[in-house]
Amino acid sequence: MRVGVVGGGIAGLSCALSLHAAGFRPWVCEAARAIEAVGVGINLLPHAVRELAELGLADELAAIALAPQRLRYYDRAGAPVWDEPLGTAAGYRWPQYSVHRGRLHTLLLAAVVERLGPDAVRTGRRLQHFETVPGGVRAHFLDRPTGATVVEEAEVLVGADGINSAVRARLHPHESAARRHGVLMWRGIAPRPRLLDGRSLVVAGGTPGAKFVAYPIAPTAEPGEDLLNWVLEVPDEPPAAAPGHSGCPTTPTEARPVTATEAQARLREWQLPWIDLPALVGHTSPVLAYPMADRDPLPSWSAGRVTLLGDAAHPMLPMGMNGGSQSVIDARVLAWCLAREADPVAALRQYDDLRRPVLNALVLANRALGPEEIIARAAEHGGPLPADRAAAVSGRYKELSLATVADVNDRPSWTVPRPDVR
């Protein structure tokens, strides 16, 4: 079976690897002219690391990532609010990883090229439209280097093309634009002296728009130094609409550069005793501002032989560090469903039924702050929550996302015996 994947990001490449492991022959079309190692940090939770390990990438992932051992919440003054173990320290059989997004992207691309061949990923192809044909789907792409229209056919088409998905727009043409939530995330990476014990993920502050996050993603060549990923949340001031228009800009998730002067001015409002914030900004270039945005949950991801995956299906706010991880799991479940069901339409319905209710609930939970309710409530009440209440908030979120230690360690594998290529 030929499966077409629209989007060559982490979700799309994970999908291609999962489909190949299940015996299918996917192709990937990516709108960017080249896939480059860009971006900042990303966290992969144990439930996603398990899936990448079962795809044979455990050693490669361990070589480029760091495994944080603790999640530490602090208030605006840097005083501790809550602390819990992560990954293997929490009892998972697989670690949690913090990694540079570009290095993870490169790792996945190399695996796709090695396993599927150099022609499996076609860059510079932007989806224009698609239609159902007997026995499959015909997708029309603009070939950006030449300006020509290129047609690709597949028996199943998967939209893994992000929050502004062209596939989603075709399946749900009356949906509104991505929803901004009044917060900008200023993000950057910088080489800095080791933060705390060097293996902690720290979150300081309270409600969205008044929060600082930092964690190491790789060691540097200097002893006692790591490459530190950091995020500062500030109130969002959407750019003015063009004359004759109103509302959000056409690309509401587009990043903009932040000057060092802007960043230094904002960070002067913070006094965290365990990190030198002016030096952090001084060693960061560039700093980029991303609007915090998501989309409302959909009543369906699939229509006939077309479905959605990753941020195209369930873009969510970043509470709980779950977006990228859930994309990897989507890919594995989709491949499992297609391998077990002879009828592709029925397989996509099964995938939809297995994943959509869980992810729709998670999107709404993240709007309600997810596990970061712990620090938001502490900020409101002027001190840490009782330990049992904080533990209940954290545990409830893990249960909702099917990511408790028991869920991850004990559930059956999504791996299917690999038959001859279908």
User: Does residue 374 belong to any structural domain of this protein?
Assistant: no
Question: pLDDT for 302-351, tens place per residue?
Answer: 999 999 999 999 999 999 999 999 999 999 999 999 999 999 999 999 99
Q: What is the CATH number of the domain that holds 107?
A: 3.50.50.60
User: Does residue 150 belong to any structural domain of this protein?
Assistant: yes
396 or 420, which is more confident? 396
| Backbone phi and psi for residue 297, each to the nearest 5 degrees, phi listed first | -60, 145
Alpha helices (H) along 136-218: 166-171
Q: Per DSSP, what are the bridge partners of residue 2?
A: 25
What's this model's pTM, rounded to 2 decimal places? 0.94
Average pLDDT over residues 242-253: 42
Look over the chain and give the mean of its residue pLDDT values, rounded to a whole number.
Answer: 93
Burial of 396 per CB tally in 10 Å (0-12, 13-18, 19+):
middle
Domain that residue 133 falls in: 2-65+101-176+296-369+405-410
- In contact, 315 and 326? CB cutoff 8 Å: no
Q: Is the pLDDT of residue 206 over 90?
A: no
User: At 246, is the pLDDT very low, low, confident or very high (cuts 50, 70, 90)?
Assistant: very low
Question: pLDDT for 273-290, tens place per residue?
Answer: 999 999 999 999 999 999
Return the pLDDT at 269. 87
Return the pLDDT at 297. 97
Question: pLDDT for 134-162, tens place per residue?
Answer: 999 999 999 999 999 999 999 999 999 99
Return the pLDDT at 247. 35
Question: pLDDT for 33-80, tens place per residue?
Answer: 888 878 899 999 999 999 999 999 999 999 999 999 999 999 999 999
Beta-strand pair 225-235/179-193: antiparallel
User: Does residue 134 belong to any structural domain of this protein?
Assistant: yes
- In contact, 348 and 156? CB cutoff 8 Å: yes
User: Does residue 9 belong to any structural domain of this protein?
Assistant: yes
Return the pLDDT at 248. 40
As for how many domains the chain has, the answer is 1
Sequence length of the chain is: 422
CA distance 17 to 111: 8
37 or 389, which is more confident? 389
Return the pLDDT at 419. 58
Return the pLDDT at 249. 38
Average pLDDT over residues 398-417: 96
User: At 252, is the pLDDT very low, low, confident or very high (cuts 50, 70, 90)?
Assistant: low
Spatial CB neighbours of 264, under 8 Å, sequence gap ≥ 6: 278, 281, 282
User: Does residue 223 belong to any structural domain of this protein?
Assistant: no
CA distance 274 to 190: 16
User: Does residue 290 belong to any structural domain of this protein?
Assistant: no
CA distance 381 to 373: 12
% residues pLDDT > 70 (the chain):
95
User: Does residue 421 belong to any structural domain of this protein?
Assistant: no
User: Does residue 135 belong to any structural domain of this protein?
Assistant: yes
| Backbone phi and psi for residue 87, each to the nearest 5 degrees, phi listed first | 55, -135
